[in-house]
Structure formats: C-alpha cells, structure tokens
Structure 1
Amino acid sequence: MKNIKLLKMHIQNFKGCKDREISFGEKTAIGGVNASGKTTVFDAFTWLLFGKDSLGKSSFDIRPRDKAGNMINNVEISVEATICFGEDEYVLKKVQKQIWRKKRGTNITEFQGNVNEFEINGYPKSEKEFKEFVHAEIDENIFNLITNSNAFNALPWKEQREVLMKFVGNFSNVEIAQQFGERFQKLVPELKIASTDDIFKKYTKAKNTLNKDMVEIPARIDEISKQLVTADVGALEVEKAAKEVALKKVEDEITGGADKLETINELRKQVMDKKIALSEIQNTANEQLAKERMDSRVKFDEVQKVFFAVQDQMKQLERERTEYIYERDRSEREKDRLLEEWKKVKKCEFAEYVAPAPYVEPEPLKESDLICPTCGQDLPEEVKQKRIADYEAKCRRERDAYEAGCEALKKKYEKDKEDFQTKKDQDLKRITEAGQKAADAVRANQKLIDERTNVLESLRSKFDASKAEYDSMKQAFDTIPAVADVSENPAYVKTKEEIVAIEKQIEELSKESSGKAELEAKKAVLKDEITEIEAKIKAADNTKVNGRIAELEEEQKAVGQKIAEQEQMIDLTEDFIRVKMDQISNAINDKFQIVSFRLFEDQINGGLKETCECTVNGVPFSSLNNGHRIIAGLDIIRSLSELYGVSAPVFIDNSEAVNTENFPEMDAQMIHLVVTDDKELKVESEDK
C-alpha cells in the first residue's frame, strides 16, 4: 500500500492564518475554540493540492480580512507543505498574488485578478505541470474519500453504490445467474443482451399492455353481442313459403297447367307446411343449444373466477414468503456478526497496573556544602542551619510530590479502568440487545415463513382442484357449437326428403298457360319479395356473430396466458435481483468491520428498489450521533484505502465527539481537529 504523509506545512495569509508552521506526526491534535482556524489547516492542504476547500468547493474565499471584515489586499497568500509520497519526499508550494495595474492617464490602480505560482522542491512549475504531478501521485476523488470521514456519505447514493461495487469486481449478471443452475436459466438469454432494469421494464410494459387488452376484450364481446339478431325466423320462413307457393302457382299458370292447378296448389301448400316444420326443428334445436351454452358460460365464469383468485393468492403468498426468507437470512447474518463482536469485546481486558519506579532519596549534604567556596572556612552556624533546613524541606517536598504522584497515578488508573469497564459493559449490553433483536427478527420472520408455507400447502390442493375444474369447464364450453346441427335429425331428414319428392311431382304437373306477360310480371314481383325475405332470414343468422364472440373468448384466454408469462418473468427478474443484491451485499459488507450497507429495499407491491444506505448496528447513518458518524466514516476510509491501495492523512473534524479508546485502528496518519478552550491554535503531535 502506498502511504502519503504530511510532515510539515507553512501557511501564510491564508484565510485567518497569518503565519503558522505546523509539524505533523503519525497522530496530530490541532485544538482551539470554534473559528480559531482548525478547519483552515485542512482547507489550506486541499487548496495547495487541488485548488479546493476541504468540502470540495473550488469557489471559496482564501484572502485574509481585517477586523471590519474587509479583504486585505497587497499581501501574498502561500501554502508550503512537505509531503512523503511513499518513499519520496517533496516540498510543494503554491502562492497567490494580486495583479494591480495603473489606469492609463491617472494615478489610480485597478485590481486585475489573481495569479497562482507553483513550486516543487524549489523549482518553479506551471499550473499544468503541478497538477499533473499531483494527479500522478493521488487521484483527487480518491484523496477526498480517504482523507475526510464525511466525504463518502456526502456523495449521492448512486455514486456511493458505484464505489462499493468496486469491492466485488466485474461479475456479469449472466455469470451470477449461472451459479444457480436451472433456477434462472430462463432469464439467462435476456441477461446476455439487457440489464435487469431493462428486462423488468420490458415485461412490465408488456404486462400493462396485455392488462389493457384483458379489460377491453369483455367490452368488445358485449358490443358484438348487441349485433345478435332476435328476428322471428320461423315467421319469415312461413312468409317465404307462402310467397314461393304463390310463385309456383304463377309459374304453373305460365306453363299452362291450369287443368292441374288445384292439384299443384295443394302440393305447394304441403311444401310450405313442411318447410315451416323444418324451420321449427332448427329453431327448437338452436334455442336448446343457446340455453345450454349460456348455462355452461355461467358455470365456467364462476369456476374461472375461483381459479384466478386462488392463483393470485398463491402468487402473493410466494412473494411474501420470499421477502421474509431474505429478512430472516439478513437477520441471521447480523446475529452472527454481533456474536463475533460480543466475543471480541468480551475478551478485551484493561492493562494491569504498573507501579512507578521506587522513590530515590536525594543525595545527602556533603561537608563541602557547609564550607564557603570562596575562603574555604566553615559557614556561619546560622547559615549552616539554614542550608540543612532547606535540604530537609526539599527532601520532604520531593517525597510528598512522589507520593502524591503515585496516588494520582493510582487514582487515574482506577478511574480509567472503571471507565473502561463501564464502556465495556455498555458495549456488551448494546451488542446483546442488538443480538437479541436480530434473533427475535429471525424467529419472527421464520414464523411468518412457516405461516405462508402452511397456507401455500393448504391452498395447493384447492389450486389443483380449481385448475382441473377450470380446464374441464373450459373444454366443455368450447365444445358447444354456436349453431345447432340438425343435419342428422331423423324428422328433419325425412321432411327434407318429402319436400324434394313433392317439388319434383309439382314440376311434372306444371305446363304452359295463357296470359303469359301479366303472369311474368307477377312472377318477377314475387321473386323480388322472396329475395327480400331471404335477405332478412340471412341477416337473422347469428353464426358469424357467435363465431366472432368465440374468437374473442379464445383471445381472452390467450391474453390471460401471456399475462401469466409476463408475471413469471417479472417475478423471476425480481428474484434474481434479490439474490444478486443479497450476494453483493454480503461481499461488500464483509469488507467493513463497523458499518453495513443496505443496497436495496422492498416496496409495497413486492418489488425491489435500488438504494444505498450506510448503517451501524441497523441504525441509518442519518440517525447516528456525530461521534458514531465519525467512527463509521473512519471504518469506510479504512476499507477504501485497502481498495485503492493508498493511505493519506485523515482529517477528523470535531474529533472530541469520540472517546479516544473508541477510535478504530487506522493504517494512516491521523489529524484530529478538536474543539478546546484554547483561543489560539494548539498543536500536539506524536509518533506511534
């Protein structure tokens, strides 16, 4: 891993910092009251490297201001930093100067803008050269993510997902689907050419179009049913037969069969009666068939309604069961993770007390200490006594100070141990409660799974029975013709044969007659009238209308089957997305020690919605206090540094919100920005 470390920084006239040089260690604390310039240090560092503040804004004021809030002109702003990029040490410097030019013909100077100058190890560089050097060492976006504990969670959720997906590599949807054998085999051809989002949109759109057709078909059937003609075909047949008798009579007169006219008329009357009988046979059969078809249709509609209701109920239960299985498994993983965390915390013990070194008595007074160094004679008695008294007082003070220090150290140890134990007990309690909550969730979801499974099992026989009844009724309904077939009816066949025989007899009796012109005109009128009646009879034939209704009913059945196919693909796609996201979520969350990410959420309609939400022990990042947000951010930085193979100085604003012992172990330089009572910035650094 490439380590980037900030060793030293010299800031001049940058915002509120007039002139300050700061040395940084492995751990550096920069303390001061609010608005004392802690964040200014971070802003100066990012301005030097990227020309932006610590929040990523390129438009911000860096020029110092006076007490009245006015910008101070004619001063150079400079930031110089000594930075280690891996094994190499560089001194980077950036200076901003103002350009003032005298207005022509006057003594007035005008501000013309700012110019930035750059140096690397004392060598002047152009802005392009400086930027290329920095970019070669560290990408700006990566730098922002691994130096600022708030940076990642400030990104839009889609960008967060893009970063997290880099943890799992570039596995295609097809590769993931093929891991599950036959389960998603039907989906693989689609996944080869489209994303899951496009597949879902495709089949949802198709389903919506088909649903629209399913709604429209009954209306179309109803509209066509209005075309069914209810004319009295029997009466029309009687009228037609009468006209035909009259026509035959005229024809007989034309052919001169007057002597046999009475016989012919009687035969014509017999033909008319027999045709009326044929019509009655057909009408009776049609009425019986229509009643049979209507009864079958009513029964079929009821069976279909029950079958579709059971089918929809089972689909809903399957969706709910799948959702509860996912929630159960997620809670099971959370419970296992909490158990490991509990074991880890339980093993932590406070260090044993280490007593300070034994007290060392000061060296005793020597005889030379009681002799005048100038003349070599003994000091006056009162001076000797004063030196002896001072020596004894010093011994007492040092012993008292040692004993007081030992007592203070012992009390601090006991206080720190008590705080450690309190924190440990609190963490164990928190983890236990969270673990119990996760275990309760496992049991609750398992109960819901069992309930759905039992209901599904109980519905299975009902579904099978209703489907069998549906298929049977549909087949029975489809076998009923729209028009009765009387071609094999004995009475109908016999009557038809009798009509043919009588008409043949009439034809033999017919002969030419006089008054031919008048009879021809009458004959033409009768033919026209018969043609008109035949047209009415033909119009009363509902065969085509019933056939169209049957076609629409078949179309309705086909549309229903297609809707089921679209729903199957939608359900399969949602199942795949759930499995894929679950697999990806596990792979990603394994990369973090403290935080977890929820990458999708269930919708009310049973579908899935992509998201990206950071959580700590199930609590969303947005609901965490400032201290927990910092800890979560550091855990993210730690994992992102491993992902990108680079560590950089981590600036922690409001660091005082986190207890020292709660900071996670970081393989990076730590710079704590702490709110203290110091009115001037106070810098303390140490090496590990």
Structure 2
Amino acid sequence: MQVIFKTLILNNFKSHRDITVNFGERTDITGDNAEGKSTICEAPTYVLYGTDALGSKLDPTPITYEAEEIKVSLLLEVDGKELMLGRSLKKNKTIYYVNEVPSKAGEFNEVVEKLFDKDLFLSLFNPSYFPSMHWEKQRSMLLQYVTSPINKDVIKHMPDEQNKCLAALFKKHNLEDIKKIHAENKNTLEKKYIAAQSRTKTLQERLEQINISNVPLESLKAELAQIDKQVREKESLLDKAWEKNQAYNSLQAKIRNIQDQVEMSKEHWPLLKNEEIEDSCRTCKRPLDEESVTTVKKDKEIRIENYKANHEKLLKERAGLKAQLEEMEFIDVTELRNEIRELDPQGTPLREAIRIHGEFGRLQEQVKQAQTDENETLHSLNESIFILDCVKAFKAKEAELQGEKVQALFETLSVRLFEEQRNGELKNTFEIELDKKPYRKLSTAEGIRAGLELRDVLSQQSDLITPVFVDNAESITSFKQPVGQLIVSRVVAGQKLKIEGVDAE
C-alpha cells in the first residue's frame, strides 16, 4: 500500500489561522524558529489520531488568538484512491469527517484502522517515533516481519552431539517443554544425587567400622559345624538317657502305687478277719434264723477269699515290677550336661565371627548398590544438564541466526536483540546502534540518519509506503532519499514560513 499526502488544510490550528499545504513528492518547509514548521508535521497525526507526531496527546488550541472552531483536513491518496479525512474541535466537542461527511468517532476510527496500524504509521511518518517506544514494542514490531529460523535450520548449525540430542527430543516436545521437563529433572536429581552420595558415604563408614576376622569364613563354618556336631551327639545321648530315666522313674512310681495298695490291704485284713457274725438284724434288731446266720457266715468266707486273692495279686505285681526295676539302670547325666555346657559356648565366638562376616558381606552389597544408584543418578543428572546446555546453545544459535536475518535488513545500523545473563541464559532486549553507539547517544544528525534507515526497513518489510517528515534537517548536511513522499523541515534564520512542494519531473 502506498499513502500519499495531497493537501493539508489548517483552520485556527495552533499558530496557523488559515493555511493550505499542497504536498509534492518532496515538500520543503523552511523558516525561522516559531514560524510553525513543526506544527505542519503534527497536523496529519492530529487528524488521524488526535496526537502529535510522537503519539502524545495534542492541544490544537490557537496560541496567540482565539477561535470558535478548530479544523484540520487532510486529503490522502491511498493506492490511487483519494480520501479526505477531517477533525474539528468546537466548544470542546470533537467532530469527525470522512470525505467531508460528518461521522461518528467509531466510524472515523474504523476507516483509519483499516488503512494502517497506528504505531506502524507513526514510525514511518516520523523517524523519531519508533525509538521513542518501549524497547519491547520496538522489538515486537520489527520481529513481526522477520520469521524465526525453524528448528531444523538451527540444529544443523550446532555440534553433532547437540544436534542428535535435540533432533530426537523435538520428535516429542517443543523447546520450552524440553526445558521445563529437564529443569525439573535437574532440580529433582540434584537432591537425589546428594542423598545418594550421603547414603554411599554412610554405608562405607559402617563398613569400615566392622572388625572382621582374618580367619576365612569357610574355616569358621567348618569349625563351628564340628562343635555343633559334638553338641548334637551329646544332646542325643542326653535325650536317650532322659527317656530311660523317665521309664525308670515311671516304674518306680508304679511300684510305690502298688505298695500303697498293699499297705491299705494289710490295714483292711484285721477288720475282715475279726469281723463278728451277729445273730440279729443290724437294722431292726430282730433275731436271725439259722439259715440267715449261715448265709452271713458264708458271705464272710467269700469276702476273705476275695481279699486274699487280691492281696496275693498285688504282691505278685509288686514283685514283678521290682524284678523289672532291678534289670533297669538309672543314668546319671550330670557329667553329660557339664560336657554340653562346656562345649556349646565354644561356638559363640565362631557364630559372632560368622555373623560379622555376613554383615560385612551384606554391607558390601549395599555399598555396591548405593554406588550404582549414585552413578546412575549422576548420569541422569548430567544428561539433563547436557540437554539444558543444548537448549541454551539452541537459543543462542537461534538468536544468532535471527539476529543475522534482522541485521541483513540494515546497511549501517546494527540491532541487538538479546543480551547474555550471568547464568548464560539469553534475555530479550532491543538496542539500535550506529557505529556501536546506542541510539540514545547519537547526535541529531546521526539520529535522523538512523531513524530514516530504520523506517525504510519497516516500510519495505510491511509493504506500506507513507510520507516521511524530517524535522531539524538543518542539522544534517545530507541523507539518503527515503522510500515514499519526503517532507523536510529546515530552520532558515530571519525567514518567514515557506512551503514548496516539488514533484518528480
């Protein structure tokens, strides 16, 4: 799109009561200070946005006189089609005009917004506007026309190891996700690695504190096995002796029991033997007949025979048990117990030595596993650190390539898009430099040249050609002809305001 200023009409605008400016391909505005040269630069932006050429709010009120209405009209040619825009202020009320037709603010703003972006237009019209914006806005505006290099183009400029690493990771995640994943991994693994080191050290210290026997483990086990064998053999003898003694004691108990029965039988015999045969009933005391007495006598005889038979049986049983007892032997196990008591403790130091051998072996395995875990954690940690370094290198290379693409747009200016932090990370920035001097330190002439080159780059990249206003042109001897309509303001001492529009021949 090409925008051309055709005619500017000022009525009671600041120092100008009534003036019409007919623009040519180049328009020279000359005159002494305070002749209203810069006001002409402010008028187009006032019509479009109600601001001065730097985007600040503008008060259009006449300076040295009073007026009921202030009005500014600008005739534009946009790609060959004319458009008349106007803005007036009457009794603090703003009236808008589109092709001389009064319009609402929204309708007017919609027409202007369809033409071009405000910041872009002001940057192209006034070379001093772009550097006045916040650096983030400057950066964003310039980079919207410069595509970032694609991942494939960036990694092919990186070392092979980093190239292979990122190429594999890019199949699953984007760069920011890769950074987040491995930044979190790094934090987690650093803590895990410290814990792993601590565990390895603790286990190693415990291992070093163990006083292990110089006697081989197999020898200790063999010696203990021999002692245990002897103990088991003696315990087996002790068990057998206990069984025999248990039988002996049991037989003795039976004999004592029968002996008690014999004694009880003896005590019962006199009572039975001397029992009298009564001739009367024990209950009713009536005399018994001869037959009953005979029956009573016979009962006593039977009971005596039974007693004798039972007594004899007890005596025989006692005699038989005593005969068995005489054939049995009660074994004294005192010596055997003493032998076991003396022998068994001999295995205690051997068992302790074997236990220490076992603990030492377990600790060795734990130390080995802890070292393995520590090494694996360190490997994973180093892997995440390497990936983060790859991400950092990728961003640096991406910034370098993007910077080269941006720098290729300029002839004399250099543009800094990034600055390196202490941690090696790149931080977004934006600095325009001329001969290594930042824009803010340039002289007026250098600033004009830098601004014109910058606005020409923006014009070319955005495909928008607008008029450009060069103020204070007297401070610069020459400058490259910018793209688009040129409006030049120059101070000429003692001269009244003079406007000359020149078209190409």
**One fold, TM greater than 0.5?**
yes
Q: Aligned Cα RMSD in Å? A: 4.0
| Paired residue secondary structure (2:193) | helix
Would the aligned equivalents of 1:31 and 1:678 in 2 still touch at CA under 8 Å?
no
1:674 maps to 490
Would the aligned equivalents of 1:174 and 1:192 in 2 still touch at CA under 8 Å?
no
CA distance in 2, matches of 1:616, 1:229: 69
CA distance in 1, matches of 2:356, 2:226: 27
Would the aligned equivalents of 1:229 and 1:539 in 2 still touch at CA under 8 Å?
no
Q: Taking structure 1 as reference, are residues 169 and 493 closer, same or farther at Cα in structure 2, changes over 3 Å only?
A: closer
1:169 maps to 147
Would the aligned equivalents of 1:178 and 1:185 in 2 still touch at CA under 8 Å?
no
Would the aligned equivalents of 2:70 and 2:89 in 1 still touch at CA under 8 Å?
yes
CA distance in 2, matches of 1:642, 1:632: 16
1:62 maps to 60
2:119 maps to 141
For normalisation by structure 2, the TM-score amounts to 0.69
The Cα shift of 1:169 comes to 3.4
| Paired residue secondary structure (1:587) | helix
CA distance in 2, matches of 1:596, 1:229: 65
1:187 maps to 166
Q: Taking structure 1 as reference, are residues 189 and 681 closer, same or farther at Cα in structure 2, changes over 3 Å only?
A: farther
| Paired residue secondary structure (1:53) | coil
Q: Are 1:125 and 2:103 matched, yes or no?
A: yes
For normalisation by structure 1, the TM-score amounts to 0.52
1:585 maps to 403
CA distance in 2, matches of 1:163, 1:626: 24
Q: Taking structure 1 as reference, are residues 125 and 682 closer, same or farther at Cα in structure 2, changes over 3 Å only?
A: same
Q: Are 1:687 and 2:503 matched, yes or no?
A: yes
Q: Are 1:210 and 2:184 matched, yes or no?
A: no
Would the aligned equivalents of 1:196 and 1:577 in 2 still touch at CA under 8 Å?
no
Would the aligned equivalents of 2:217 and 2:354 in 1 still touch at CA under 8 Å?
no
CA distance in 1, matches of 2:34, 2:202: 79
2:214 maps to 284
2:220 maps to 492
CA distance in 2, matches of 1:39, 1:535: 103
Q: Taking structure 1 as reference, are residues 138 and 155 closer, same or farther at Cα in structure 2, changes over 3 Å only?
A: same
Q: Are 1:611 and 2:342 matched, yes or no?
A: no
CA distance in 2, matches of 1:625, 1:194: 48
Q: Taking structure 1 as reference, are residues 152 and 225 closer, same or farther at Cα in structure 2, changes over 3 Å only?
A: same
Identity over aligned pairs, percent: 25
Q: Are 1:85 and 2:78 matched, yes or no?
A: yes
Q: Taking structure 1 as reference, are residues 202 and 40 closer, same or farther at Cα in structure 2, changes over 3 Å only?
A: farther
CA distance in 2, matches of 1:146, 1:90: 19
| Paired residue secondary structure (2:51) | coil
Cα deviation per residue 1:322-348 (whole Å; 9 max; x = unaligned)? Answer: xxxxxxxxxxxxxxxxxxxxxxxxxxx
CA distance in 1, matches of 2:485, 2:420: 41
Cα deviation per residue 1:146-177 (whole Å; 9 max; x = unaligned)? Answer: 11212223333333333333444365435644
CA distance in 1, matches of 2:435, 2:214: 79
Would the aligned equivalents of 1:229 and 1:542 in 2 still touch at CA under 8 Å?
no
Q: Which has the larger radius of gyration?
A: 2
CA distance in 2, matches of 1:40, 1:47: 10
Where do 1:458-537 residues align within 5 Å? 486-487=217-218, 491-492=219-220, 494-510=222-238, 511-512=241-242
Would the aligned equivalents of 2:179 and 2:388 in 1 still touch at CA under 8 Å?
yes
Q: Taking structure 1 as reference, are residues 550 and 36 closer, same or farther at Cα in structure 2, changes over 3 Å only?
A: farther
Would the aligned equivalents of 1:167 and 1:588 in 2 still touch at CA under 8 Å?
no
The Cα shift of 1:188 comes to 3.3
CA distance in 2, matches of 1:129, 1:46: 17
**Gaps (5+ residues) in structure 2?**
246-330
1:238 maps to none
Could you tell me which amino acid in structure 2 is paired with residue 558 of structure 1? E
1:96 maps to 89
CA distance in 2, matches of 1:211, 1:673: 65
The Cα shift of 1:66 comes to 5.1
CA distance in 2, matches of 1:640, 1:545: 72
CA distance in 1, matches of 2:112, 2:441: 37
Aligned residues: 408
1:156 maps to 134
2:481 maps to 665
1:420 maps to none
The Cα shift of 1:82 comes to 1.8
**Gaps (5+ residues) in structure 1?**
99-113, 233-281, 286-484
